[in-house]
Amino acid sequence: MGGKIAILGDIHSNLEALETVLEDCRREGVDEYLCTGDVVGYNACPHECLEIIRSLGCPVVKGNHDHYIASRASLEDFNPYAAAVVRWTRDQLSGEELEYLHNLPFSVVTKGITLVHSTMDRPERFGYVFDIQQAETNFSNQITPVCFHGHTHCPMIYERQFSGVGMIEPQAFTITAGRKYFINVGSVGQPRDGDPRAAYVIYDIRAKTLDFRRIEYDIESAQRRILAAGLPEHLAERLALGQ
Ligand code: ZN
């Protein structure tokens, strides 16, 4: 039995979303986890979310928020809302937790699957993949048939076959042997595709199927925590909109 892998990413310190997603994983009989990064940032529970993800004992790659929170690097590439939360989050985490984030790898290959936060084309630059051209550049640097990523917070399937690269809207999907897949698993803690429900993917490694999950969670509770922490109100509002 077994063979169901949950791929979670862009959790962004959203404890309500993470706990609800993990309950769904248990109901679905998930046996393993992979994390595409950005465990922290934007929401108000960085410590709790880090503790939960670390307790899963799974491979985790470094997201841009993890990277900037764990360093003293300049935040000029960040929008002001994101930068405010980066500074706030730095103050919430222990030295040991910041060290953990700092030491995360930019990409991992495990069981024939690649994990990266953004793209295999210079993952340390955190480029965004929104179209076929950007996906093609990733595929040139992707060694395994299947690679999971996040970063845009919008789930999507990019498929490369002989005739070229195609974009496939998230849906129940079966992987075809001989092709390559670059799969965006969406965001657990701050979806931006217009659907506010938490997003993640279950990959059945034997049946080669992808299940794009959308899970309702207690958004109002996550919003109250953002406001109570003194974080920008805009970050609470966008959770309800899925933007
Ligand atoms: Zn993110």
* pLDDT per residue as tens digits for the range 65-122: 999 999 877 888 778 888 889 999 999 999 999 999 999 999 999 999 999 999 999 9
Residue 12: the pLDDT is 98
Residue 79: the pLDDT is 84
CA 88 to chain centroid, in Å, comes to 21
- Distance between CA atoms of 239 and 128, rounded to whole angstroms? 21
Q: Which residues contact 79 (CB under 8 A, 6 or more apart)?
A: none
Cα–ligand 1 centroid distance for 72 (angstroms): 19
Token pair recorded at residue 42: 């934007």
Cα–ligand 1 centroid distance for 31 (angstroms): 25
- Distance between CA atoms of 119 and 210, rounded to whole angstroms? 20
Cα–ligand 1 centroid distance for 18 (angstroms): 14
Answer whether residue 2 shows pLDDT above 60. Answer: yes
Cα–ligand 1 centroid distance for 150 (angstroms): 7
Residue 110: the pLDDT is 95
Residue 1: the pLDDT is 46
| Residue at token pair 């060694």 | 143
Q: What is the dihedral of CA 71, 72, 78, 80, to 10 degrees?
A: 130
**Mean pLDDT calculated for residue range 204-214:** 97
Residue 77: the pLDDT is 78
Cα–ligand 1 centroid distance for 84 (angstroms): 15
* pLDDT per residue as tens digits for the range 163-202: 999 999 999 999 999 999 999 999 999 999 999 999 999 9
Per residue, what are the HEC states of 166-199? EEECCCCEECCCCCEEEEECCCCCCCCCCCCCEE
Helix ranges (H only) for 142-218 are none
Residue 210 or residue 76, greater confidence = 210
Contact by Cβ (8 Å): 36, 115: yes
Cα–ligand 1 centroid distance for 133 (angstroms): 21
| Residue at token pair 């919430």 | 92
Answer whether residue 47 shows pLDDT above 50. Answer: yes
Domain 4-241: assigned CATH number:
3.60.21.10
Cα–ligand 1 centroid distance for 17 (angstroms): 14
Query: Which pTM does this prediction carry?
Result: 0.96
* pLDDT per residue as tens digits for the range 143-167: 999 999 999 999 999 999 999 999 9
Residue 120: the pLDDT is 97
Token pair recorded at residue 138: 């990733």
Cα–ligand 1 centroid distance for 175 (angstroms): 26
Instruction: List, in sequence order, every residue forming a beta bridge with 160; answer none if it has no partner.
Output: 165, 180
**Mean pLDDT calculated for residue range 208-215:** 98
Cα–ligand 1 centroid distance for 163 (angstroms): 32
Cα–ligand 1 centroid distance for 229 (angstroms): 20
128 sits in the region (left: phi over 0; alpha: psi -120 to 50; else beta) called beta
- Distance between CA atoms of 201 and 111, rounded to whole angstroms? 17
Helix ranges (H only) for 56-147 are 64-69, 80-92, 95-102, 132-141
Q: What is the dihedral of CA 67, 71, 76, 79, to 10 degrees?
A: 50
Cα–ligand 1 centroid distance for 186 (angstroms): 9
Cα–ligand 1 centroid distance for 195 (angstroms): 16
Cα–ligand 1 centroid distance for 177 (angstroms): 30
